[in-house]
Amino acid sequence: MSGTVDGAVGPPYEASDHAEGASGSAPEVGEAPDWQHLHPLSPVLRGGLAFVAVMAYVVSQQADRLVGAAGDDPTGGHLGWAAVGVLVVLLAIVGGAWLSWRFSRYRVTANLIELRTGFVFRQHRQVRFDRVQAVDVGRPLLARLTGLSEVIVRSAGGRDSHLTLAFLSDARAQEVREQLVALAAREDAPTGPTWQGSLPAGPAGPATDVMPSGGARVVSVPNSRVVQSILYTGQSALLVLAVPALVGSVIGGIPGMLAWLGPTALAIGGAQAKRLTHETNFELLHQGDRLRVRHGLTDLRTTTVPLHRIQAVEVSQSLPWRLTGWWRLRVNVAGAGHGDDEADTVLLPVGTLDEALAVLALVQPGAAPSVAVAALTGEGTEQGFTTATRRARLLDPLSWRRRGYAVLPELLVTRRGLLYRSAQFVPHARVQSLAVTQGPLERAAGVATVRLVSTPGPVKPLVAHLDTGDAERLLTEQDVRSRHARGVVHGPGDRLAERPHRG
């Protein structure tokens, strides 16, 4: 359980004098842990951007005078008072940052992690270990310059329930991360099958390259491949066409084209640049019962995800990537997959088929390799797939033979798409609910769509255009499989699945 306790205006709680680094080691479980401060340089990083912004504004206003050129005086002849005002603002920024650090404390107990912040408006946030989904260590650019890191504790409640310790020394952040992951694993034993055995070998040799940290490298993506993968996308193709059009509109004096094409190109370019900064330096490590993902260019981030927290997996391939044989693997993890968090759901930004199968075997060991290959590249009923009926050809003339599902002892596998291929792997115990939908065109063709609801995230399993009888059978049988996988016994009228919705 996670939550916050916000206080009203009043005397702040008493700050502890126990600062980070005052103790050589973290308190052991069972002891009464002391409240600890964040790193003393935290105010510099928190208030540094505001400080730079104020100084940049002042310099920009006085640029002409600094180079000796004549210019209007923006202070109206009150340069002294303006300097005093700027000084007051800077002192307020520094003072506010110091107070924020002085009254920000955290501690790790046997059952939860707590963070207290605020001088006037106080906040007390707690995250129980049985609700921890992942623990990240982030290193933004300014933090890297000062040797600091932030620890982000991701809770099942979503982005608003995350707890962030910004900032700690990098060594201390690693210690806190390891401590939190160990305590979360103790509180929450795996509820499904866990991976055992050796990692599969990749095309270039064994994937069990042992790292100094004790993890085994599963895959390391070259930055050159990440750049090429971004260039081989429809968005990049649009950007290549948009830039010459923008130049032509400026030269030809066509403001209308510039007005709508400029923001579009800027949005596409920004999204591609963001993806580049998130996916470079990508490395996936396996460490016991958890995965460790390292990635980032300006903001280096290390995410730790327990294997049994993964709710669903999707392996996909866009049309341009068909030329290179590249695949992308994403997962649903409770508490991640919203906004900026979606970058943390990528376990393979771009990789070969062998690399994708190696990662899939790690996170979903119940996926037989032959079935996985059929889900990614096959079509028809091979490997036990139930496909869409031939009556769906009018609704989906290109990919109706690829649409379908296969049932494995531990997983339900769904696949779709011919130009954009994708396959989803969902453990029976992780299916939250099911629904059968049928629109007017589907009803006329005698077909229906089955949707499997997982936790929020990029993976959205569904099987479209099944024969109505096949859809009803999947709904009923998957309900039974999911209940048995969770060990839940329902009464005669208690159903997990939703009845068909026709509309």
Instruction: Say if residue 105's pLDDT is above 80.
Output: yes
| Range in 59-73, 161-175, 353-367, 433-447 with the lowest mean pLDDT | 59-73
Mean pLDDT of all residues in 229-238: 92
Cα 284 from Cα 351, distance rounded (Å): 12
Mean pLDDT of all residues in 260-288: 91
In this prediction, residue 159 carries a pLDDT of: 65
| Range in 13-27, 236-250, 282-296, 382-396 with the lowest mean pLDDT | 13-27
Same structural domain, 25 and 156? yes
Instruction: Indicate whether 295 belongs to any domain.
Output: no
Cα 25 from Cα 486, distance rounded (Å): 40
Same structural domain, 264 and 160? no
Q: How confident is the model at residue 229 (pLDDT cuts 50, 70, 90)?
A: very high
pLDDT digits (tens, 9 = 90+) for 307-348: 888 999 999 999 999 999 999 999 998 766 555 566 678 999
Q: How confident is the model at residue 22 (pLDDT cuts 50, 70, 90)?
A: very low
In this prediction, residue 108 carries a pLDDT of: 94
Same structural domain, 365 and 496? yes
Cα 427 from Cα 460, distance rounded (Å): 13
Instruction: Indicate whether 74 belongs to any domain.
Output: yes
Instruction: Indicate whether 301 belongs to any domain.
Output: no
Cα 88 from Cα 102, distance rounded (Å): 20
Same structural domain, 350 and 498? yes
Mean pLDDT of all residues in 383-387: 95
Same structural domain, 124 and 268? no
Instruction: Indicate whether 250 belongs to any domain.
Output: yes
Q: How confident is the model at residue 48 (pLDDT cuts 50, 70, 90)?
A: low
Query: If you average pLDDT over each of 85-99, 255-269, 424-438, which comes out highest?
Result: 424-438
Instruction: Say if residue 394's pLDDT is above 80.
Output: yes
pLDDT above 70 coverage of the chain, percent: 75
Q: How confident is the model at residue 144 (pLDDT cuts 50, 70, 90)?
A: confident
Same structural domain, 400 and 275? no
Instruction: Say if residue 287's pLDDT is above 70.
Output: yes
Mean pLDDT of all residues in 297-314: 89
Q: 215 Cβ partners below 8 Å, 6+ apart?
A: 285, 286, 287, 292
Mean pLDDT of all residues in 405-425: 96
Instruction: Indicate whether 462 belongs to any domain.
Output: yes
Cα 122 from Cα 115, distance rounded (Å): 11
Query: If you average pLDDT over each of 67-81, 249-263, 297-311, 429-443, which comes out highest?
Result: 429-443
In this prediction, residue 198 carries a pLDDT of: 41
Tell me if 88 sits within 8 A of 82, measured CB to CB.
no
| Range in 289-298, 316-325, 367-376 with the lowest mean pLDDT | 289-298
Cα 395 from Cα 297, distance rounded (Å): 44
Average pLDDT in the chain: 81
Three-state DSSP class for residue 68: coil
Same structural domain, 340 and 469? yes
Tell me if 183 sits within 8 A of 30, measured CB to CB.
no
Same structural domain, 61 and 125? yes
- Report the predicted TM-score, pTM, of the whole model to 2 decimal places: 0.76
Instruction: Say if residue 24's pLDDT is above 70.
Output: no
In this prediction, residue 441 carries a pLDDT of: 94
- Give the structural domain span for 248: 223-279
Where helices occur in 30-70 by DSSP H, the ranges are 42-61, 63-66
Three-state DSSP class for residue 304: strand
Q: How confident is the model at residue 21 (pLDDT cuts 50, 70, 90)?
A: very low
Q: How confident is the model at residue 494 (pLDDT cuts 50, 70, 90)?
A: very low
Mean pLDDT of all residues in 263-292: 92
Same structural domain, 350 and 243? no
Instruction: Indicate whether 472 belongs to any domain.
Output: yes
Tell me if 5 sits within 8 A of 123, measured CB to CB.
yes
pLDDT digits (tens, 9 = 90+) for 110-129: 899 999 988 778 889 999 99
Same structural domain, 237 and 166? no
Same structural domain, 326 and 448? yes
Our count of domains for the chain comes to 3
Instruction: Indicate whether 425 belongs to any domain.
Output: yes
In this prediction, residue 43 carries a pLDDT of: 78
Identify the domain boundary among 159, 187, 215. 187
Same structural domain, 243 and 339? no
Six-digit token pair at 446? 């005698």
Instruction: Indicate whether 10 belongs to any domain.
Output: yes
Six-digit token pair at 195? 């991976």
Cα 390 from Cα 388, distance rounded (Å): 7
| Range in 46-60, 74-88, 255-269 with the lowest mean pLDDT | 46-60
Q: Which residue has the higher pLDDT, 328 or 200?
A: 328
Mean pLDDT of all residues in 124-152: 89
